[in-house]
Structure 1
Amino acid sequence: MRMIVIFALISFFATGCTINKDLLFKSAPGFEYSAISQTTVSDYKIASNDELSIQLYPNGGERLLSISTGISSDDNNRYLNQTRNTITYRVKSSGTVELPEIGEIVLAGLTLEEAELSIEKAYSDNYHNPYVLLNVTNNRVLVFPGEAGQASVITLENKNTTVLEALALAGGVRSRGISSKVKLIRSTPEGREVYLLDLSTIRGLDEASLIVQANDIIYVSSNPEIASGYLTQITPIVSVFSSLSLLYAVIVGLR
């Protein structure tokens, strides 16, 4: 009987090593988070591996305007078909994009508006008053809302999606989530930046308005489930202990 009790105690304390293993991105004591600056809040900037949808129109987009106003012509129909079959271009690791007629052009690090102006300038020798429409088609962020098994990949359809909007698209902060400890993890040319956001108060709305970038990770810290975690872990042990105790009692009773 003594051996059974010892076995049960060892098994119980051993479960402590497996509780809350679903928690990710833990910060060491004294970890220095990145400071939120105006650069962090700024509009979305193109990065490597972005897929860009680029539409080019001459004469300041005159044909595009006539299409949108319903003016019909064979040329306009051709432009409309081109718009529907827009080609996408991938931003290389060097930050450049290979475009027809002009070759490579550096777009990484630019906002969409800056990139449009840069492309228009590059095509100005080939077309009269070029007009460019640019979109990123593969913007995605990973959101961990504060509960195991609830992570999701959010495709960003708007140019300037905020942290709060991304969380809303993921279903919001879960019951175990700590809204005062939201980590925004971002890769930059200088390395990885980690920002700590407090979204638990109205004052946190400024931080919640940060514009997310492609491949950002939004991680809501979780409250550890100590009680239920231990209960889940020790239930099988208690069951085995009860069975062994019953077996021991039967053996003793037969003597």
Structure 2
Amino acid sequence: MKFLKSFVISVMFLSLVASCNVNSHVMFKTSDAEVITDNIPIAPDDAYRLAPDDKISFSLYVEDGKKVIDMSAGIGANAGSQQLNSVALQYLVRQDGTVEIPMLGLVQVGGMSIIEVQEKLKKLYSANYIDPFIQVQVINRRVIVFPGTGGDAKVISIVNDNTTLMEALALAGGITERGKANVVKVMRQTTAGRKIYQIDLSTLEGLKYADMIVQSNDYIYVEPTKQLSREFLKEVTPIVSLISSALLVFSVFTTVK
């Protein structure tokens, strides 16, 4: 009887300790006051602004891009066989927001939109070229998607400017079996800090937010379903087995004496 009492007390104590680890993998826990559930913007409130570690590429043409139009229209010698090729060089935005550009040196671009960077480079290159036409692209834009199970998280490259939330989830393989479609959080960096938009995709009413345009560096987190009983048993079973084995050995030695 004494051994049984000790066994029960030990199991209860260790079960209490193990319960602290149940669902410890759940991330980004929020309160109702911290999330935005109404009037979620379908299109971004502001254009994407360059940040450190972004990689950009740009093309420069003179005379406001006249050569581009001529080649597209087949004008000029051997135009039928000509192709517009540009060297795909990458330029890294440094931690101080500058990027080293040919002929210009270090140019401050951090916090600027693509349009603003194009206009700035156009103005700077005007000193050496006639009516420069500039096109700038961010080539390493991506979003991080947690579809409901930690092991299935993916980094998704944004190829199209109008990539939607539904497309990003589809590229990540969709919401997993443990994912809660009614708790999809889009965490977006803004000038005021990260805003957290919580979207319910479990009903047709939430379909209007499925077309939400994602931005580079968005975190898309599908909250996993809490499996209390399964995870509790997973944590407690090895402990109970170890205690029962130890008590069995102890009782055997006590009986022998």
Which range, TM-score by smaller chain?
Answer: 0.7 to 0.9
Provide the rounded CA distance (Å) in 1 between the counterparts of 2:24 and 2:241. Answer: 23
- The Cα shift of 1:143 comes to 1.1
Counterpart for residue 176 of structure 1: 178
Indicate the residue corresponding to 2:63 in structure 1.
59
Determine the C-alpha separation between the residues in 2 that align with 1:254 and 1:57: 95
Q: How many residues align?
A: 249
Q: Give the alignment's Cα RMSD to 1 decimal.
A: 3.3
Q: 2:33 aligns with which of 27, 31, 34?
A: 31
Q: Is the 8 A contact 1:183 1:220 kept in 2?
A: yes
Moved more, 183-192 or 172-181: 183-192
Task: Tell me, in whole angstroms, the C-alpha distance in 2 between the residues paired with 1:208 and 1:95.
Answer: 33
1:58-95 deviation line (CA, Å, top 9, x unaligned): 13333334556777769x97963xx1x23223335565
Distance in 2 (CA, whole Å) between partners of 1:52 and 1:151 is 26
Query: Residue 48 in 1 paired to residue 29 in 2?
Result: no
Q: Secondary structure of 1:138's match?
A: coil
SS of the counterpart of 2:162? coil
- Calculate the TM-score normalised by the size of structure 1: 0.80
Indicate conservation of the 8 Å contact 2:41/2:212, yes or no. no
Q: Distance in 2 between matches of 1:117 and 1:39?
A: 27
After TM superposition, list the pairs within 5 Å mapping 1:100-139 onto structure 2: 100-101=102-103, 104=107, 106=109, 108-110=111-113, 112-113=114-115, 115-139=117-141
CA offset digits 1:202-221 (Å, max 9, x no partner): 33233222222222111111
Distance in 2 separating the partners of 1:210 and 1:39: 4
* Unaligned segments of structure 2, at least 5 residues: none
Alignment-derived partner of residue 167 in structure 1: 169
Q: How big is the shift at 1:23? A: 0.6
Look up the equivalent residue of 1:62 and give its one-letter code.
K
Mean alpha-carbon deviation: is it higher for 119-128 or for 7-16?
119-128
Return closer, same or farther for 1:128/1:16 CA change in 2, 3 Å cut-off.
Answer: same
The alignment status of 1:157 with 2:159, answered yes or no, reads yes
Deviation at 1:151, TM superposition (A): 1.4
Unmatched 5+ stretches in structure 1? none
From the superposition, tell whether residues 202 and 42 of structure 1 become closer, same or farther in structure 2 (CA, over 3 Å).
Answer: farther
Question: Which residue of 1 is the match for residue 222 of structure 2?
Answer: 220
Kept in 2, the 8 Å contact 1:91–1:108? The answer is no
2:194 corresponding residue in structure 1 = 192
Q: Percent of aligned positions with the same letter in both sequences?
A: 36
Q: Which region of structure 1 is more displaced relative to structure 2, 158-167 or 172-181?
A: 158-167
Measure the CA separation in 2 of the matches of 1:26 and 1:99.
42
Letter in 2 for 1:170: A
1:162, CA displacement in angstroms? 1.9
Over 6 Å off, 4+ runs: 69-72, 76-79
Separation (CA, whole Å) in 2 of partners of 1:159 and 1:252: 74
Letter matched to residue 191 of structure 1: G
